[in-house]
Amino acid sequence: MAGRYAVIMAGGKGERFWPLSTSKHPKQLLALVGDRPLIAQAVDRLDSLIPPENVFVVTNADLVEAARAAVPMLPPENIVGEPIGRDTAAAVACGGALIAARDPQAVFAVLTADHVMGDPDVFRATLRGGMDLAEQNEILVTIGIRPTSPQTGFGYIESGEDFQVLENVQFKKAVRFVEKPDAETAQHYLNAGTFFWNSGMFIWSVPTLSRAFAAHCPGMKQLMDELKEYAARGEIHRGLEKIYPTLGKISIDYALMEKADNIVMACGTFAWDDVGSWPALENHFSPDENGNTLIGTCEQIDSKNNIIYSKDRLTAVIGAENLVVVQAEGVTLVCPKERAQDIKKMVAALKEKGSFEELL
């Protein structure tokens, strides 16, 4: 059996949960849901499936130390920092290169650091089944999540004919990857039953990935090969610094998944949420009798359906409805829930002012 590995992709700008998250302390380093940083939970979930020395983390160069501190169970050299973000295709190639340098026949999972998942046994069964299939077949395995609501915030995968059942997990041929839909289309996807949320998690072998890159995105094949040489010499960071500035940005979906025809999708049935913004926290906490999600030191009077997150200090809310109120890292943020996507605009506006750098 080929060696089994994982690459946890842990980039991110830390804008959506600002001011709690910042560029120096983005979402994956926060214990947003649960007691441990999300990235530590991502490593914990691999327990018994993939040994720690086979788990790599690809993150931003300036987050390497913080990430190492958050996942001390991993060998520090397994946490690798990209000097600049070059989207997911390059991160996958980087992870693939690190693994290929260890084991050219390895099978590995590409996982995310900042999602919240439940049902870890089902998750591990999905990975185990996918790895078995990826070892035995020239296929790219992607993990779809069976949708439970008509989400417009995720991309979708349309599934086709059955491929195999392994570990009680249904694997199907993937027909196509589609972008985030509008509400009507999302409802259609949900009703159809054949569409799955694109989780951004993948499983493949080093040789299959390498061949797929060669066929659909030769630049990534070259990147992976070159980085493998650097990794083999223990000089991955030197390689990244040399090559990354020459790369364009391209996502793994665009570079590979939307082009390849040998894609198999696992029908993921474990709980999964990307917790993409403050309002998404409502799904992970029990609201009070007025629908308020209160996290930390909060007091409310006559308030309804708010999300109040108060780290360390007291936040008091009177007669408010449908607001996000956050007090963290010395900053207070107030916005209606439906404007939470505009927190990025606020971060950008503050960045432009230049005087709030340590808060962003």
- Residue that is written with structure tokens 């005087």 in the block: 355
- Residue that is written with structure tokens 């793994």 in the block: 252
- Per CB under 8 A, 248 contacts a copy of itself: no
Residue 120 dihedral angles phi and psi, to the nearest 5°: -60, -30
**Closest by CA position to 5, among listed 105, 99, 104, 142:** 99
- Per CB under 8 A, 323 contacts a copy of itself: yes
Which of 122, 175, 190, 331 is the binder for a copy of itself (CB under 8 A)? 331
- Per CB under 8 A, 356 contacts a copy of itself: yes
- Per CB under 8 A, 335 contacts a copy of itself: yes
Pairing between β-strand 263-268 and β-strand 140-145 as defined by DSSP bridges? parallel
Instruction: Tell me which residues in 18-37 interact with a copy of itself (CB under 8 A).
Output: 19
- Per CB under 8 A, 302 contacts a copy of itself: yes
Give CA 178 to chain center in angstroms.
Answer: 18
Angstrom distance (rounded) from CA 258 to CA 262: 11
Nearer to a copy of itself, 90 or 317 (CB): 317
* Binding-site size, a copy of itself (CB under 8 A): 33
- Per CB under 8 A, 69 contacts a copy of itself: no
Residue 169 dihedral angles phi and psi, to the nearest 5°: -110, 130
Nearer to a copy of itself, 157 or 323 (CB): 323
Crossing angle for the helix pair 218-232 and 87-102, to the nearest 10 degrees: 40
**Closest by CA position to 343, among listed 329, 328, 324:** 324
Angstrom distance (rounded) from CA 200 to CA 11: 13
Q: How far is the CB of 155 from a copy of itself (least distance, A)?
A: 26
- Per CB under 8 A, 313 contacts a copy of itself: yes
Structure tokens given for 334: 């107030």
Which of 342, 351, 354, 357 is the binder for a copy of itself (CB under 8 A)? 342
Residue 179: partners with Cβ closer than 8 Å, 6 or more residues away: 155
Nearer to a copy of itself, 238 or 313 (CB): 313
3-class DSSP state of 326: strand
- Per CB under 8 A, 310 contacts a copy of itself: yes
Largest CA distance in the chain: 63
Q: How far is the CB of 356 from a copy of itself (least distance, A)?
A: 6
- Per CB under 8 A, 325 contacts a copy of itself: yes
- Per CB under 8 A, 343 contacts a copy of itself: yes
The region of 68-76, 185-193, 232-240, 315-323 touching a copy of itself under the rule CB under 8 A is 315-323
Are 260 and 216 within 8 A, CB to CB? yes
Angstrom distance (rounded) from CA 129 to CA 122: 10
Which of 84, 183, 192, 316 is the binder for a copy of itself (CB under 8 A)? 316
The strand pairing partners of 177, in sequence order, are 157
Structure tokens given for 50: 């993939």
Are 167 and 267 within 8 A, CB to CB? no
The region of 9-17, 40-48, 221-229, 350-358 touching a copy of itself under the rule CB under 8 A is 350-358
Which of 6, 111, 139, 320 is the binder for a copy of itself (CB under 8 A)? 320
Angstrom distance (rounded) from CA 339 to CA 60: 28
Which of 48, 161, 318, 354 is the binder for a copy of itself (CB under 8 A)? 318
Q: How far is the CB of 282 from a copy of itself (least distance, A)?
A: 18
The region of 113-121, 169-177, 210-218, 320-328 touching a copy of itself under the rule CB under 8 A is 320-328
Structure tokens given for 249: 């940005």
- Per CB under 8 A, 359 contacts a copy of itself: yes
- Per CB under 8 A, 339 contacts a copy of itself: yes
Which of 86, 327, 351, 357 is the binder for a copy of itself (CB under 8 A)? 327
Which of 61, 178, 190, 350 is the binder for a copy of itself (CB under 8 A)? 350
User: Which stretches of the chain bind a copy of itself, using CB under 8 A?
Assistant: 19, 299, 301-302, 310, 313-320, 323, 325, 327, 330-336, 339, 342-343, 345-346, 349-350, 353, 356, 359
